[in-house]
Amino acid sequence: MISRTEARVLWFCATVALFYLLFPVVVVMTVSFSSSKFLDFPPPGYSLQWYRALLDEGWLSSYWITFQVGTLTALFSTLVGVPAAFALARYDFPFRRSFEALLLAAIIVPPIIKAISLYLFFAPIGLANTVLGLVLGHTVTGVPYVVINLLATLKGYDRDLERAAQAHGATPLQAIRTVTLPVLAPSVLVGAVFAFLQSAQELLVALFLLGTVEKPLAVRMWEGVRISLSPTIAAASGTLVVLALAALAVVALALRSRRRAPA
C-alpha cells in the first residue's frame, strides 16, 4: 500500500516534526525535577524541591480557584450546550446557519477581544473580579466544544433506540432517561472535559476578569514567567502536563465506550 521510499521519507519528516513538538515538553518535565537552583538542562541531579516549593509559595489557592472556575465552566457549558446540540441535530429552524456561525465565532474571536469587552461590560454591573463573571466568560468558549462533540454523536445516533424503548413499554421520558442519556453520556463528558481544559488554560479573560483579586493558575504562571524563570514554574508546568494526560485518558476511555454505540 505504501512503498518503502515513501515510508522512509514520511517517517523522516515525522520524526523531525515530532522531536520539535515533544522535545520542549520533555525539557520542562526534566527541569521540574532538577536539583539545581537554575534552569540547567540537562540538570545536574534530580529532586522534588520545586514541587515542594509549589506548596510553600501558596500555589494551592491558584489550583483551587482554577478547579472551581473550570468545574463550573464545564457544568454551565454542558447545561447550555446539550439542549443546543439537540436543537441543531433534530430540528430544522430558521437562522440555523447563523446560530452555527455564532458558536463558531465564540471559538474563533481572539481572547483579548472577549477579555476587554467582558471587562467593559461586567465592571459597571459588579461582575468584574468575581468567580461568576469569569465562569460566564469561559462558558462562552466552552459551549461550542460541548455542542461540537455531542452533535457528531447525535447525528449518528440511531433514533430507533428510542423507538425500541417505547415499543417495549417505556414512556417517552423513561426512554430518554434509560437509553438516550446513557448512550450520549460519553460524548457529553468529552465536551465537558474540553470546556474544563480551555478554562483552566485560558489567560487573558482570567487576567482581566479576576486577575487583580485572585490568581487562577494561568494568571499565576504568566506572572511567574514574566518576572523570573524560576524552576517552580517548571514544577507547575509538570502538574499541567499531568492534567493534560489525565484529560486525554478520560477522553480516550469515553471515546472507547462511545465506539460501542452503533454508528
Partner 1 sequence: MTGRREERWIVFALLLPALVLYGACFIWPTGVLLSRSVTEAGELSLVNYRELLETPLYLGVIWTTLRISVVTTVVCLVIGYPVAMLMERAGPRARILLLLAVTVPYWLDYIVRTYSWMVLLGRYGFVNQVLMWLGLVDVPYSHLSSELAVLVGTIQVMLPLMILALFAAMTRIDRTLMDAAAAHGASAWRAFRTVYLPLSMPGVIAGALLTFVNTVGFYITPALLGGPRQTMISQSIETLAAKLFDWPMAATVSVVLLVISLAILVVFNRFFGLERLAGGDR
Partner 2 sequence: MHDGRRKQDATGVRIDGVSKAFGSRAVLRDCSLDIEAGTFVTLLGASGSGKTTLLRIIAGFLSADRGDILFDGRSMRGVPTHRRRLGMMFQSYALFPHMSVFDNVAYALRMRGDTDRLAARVGEALELVRLEGYAQQRPDRLSGGQRQRVAMARAVVANPPLLLLDEPLSALDKELREQLQVEIKTIHRSAGTTFINVTHDQGEALGMSDSVVVMGNGVIQQAASPQELWNRPVSAFVARFLGGSNLLRAERRGAEARLADGTVMKVHGPAPDGPVELAVRPELVTIGEGADDGANAVPATVRETIFLGEAIKIVADVAGHTLEARVPVARAEAARPGARLVLRWRPEDTLALPAEAGGKDGAA
How many residues does the structure list for the chain?
A: 263
List the beta bridge partners of residue 46. Answer: 34
81's contact among partner 1, partner 2, none, with CB below 5 to 8 A by partner kind, is partner 1
Which DSSP symbol is given to 2?
-
Cα–Cα distance for residue pair 98/79, rounded to 1 Å: 21
CA distances from 190 to 151, 223, 227, 257 (A): 12, 30, 36, 12
Q: How far is the CB of 163 from partner 2 (least distance, A)?
A: 6
> Would you state the cell numbers that stand for residue 163, as one nine-digit string?
423507538
146's contact among partner 1, partner 2, none, with CB below 5 to 8 A by partner kind, is none
5's contact among partner 1, partner 2, none, with CB below 5 to 8 A by partner kind, is partner 1
Q: Which is nearer to partner 1, 48 or 245 (CB)?
A: 245
The type of residue at 40 is D
Residues 101-120 that bind partner 1 (CB under 8 A): 101-120
Q: Which is nearer to partner 1, 109 or 164 (CB)?
A: 109
43's contact among partner 2, partner 1, none, with CB below 5 to 8 A by partner kind, is none
Q: How far is the CB of 256 from partner 2 (least distance, A)?
A: 11
| 174 Cβ neighbours under 8 A, 6+ residues apart | 165
Residues 137-166 that bind partner 2 (CB under 8 A): 158, 160-161, 163-166
Residues 36-55 that bind partner 1 (CB under 8 A): 38-41
**Position of cell 540547567?**
40
Radius of gyration of the chain (CA): 22
Q: How far is the CB of 113 from partner 1 (least distance, A)?
A: 5
* 61 lies in the binding site for partner 2 (CB under 8 A): no
* 170 lies in the binding site for partner 2 (CB under 8 A): yes
Which DSSP symbol is given to 178?
I
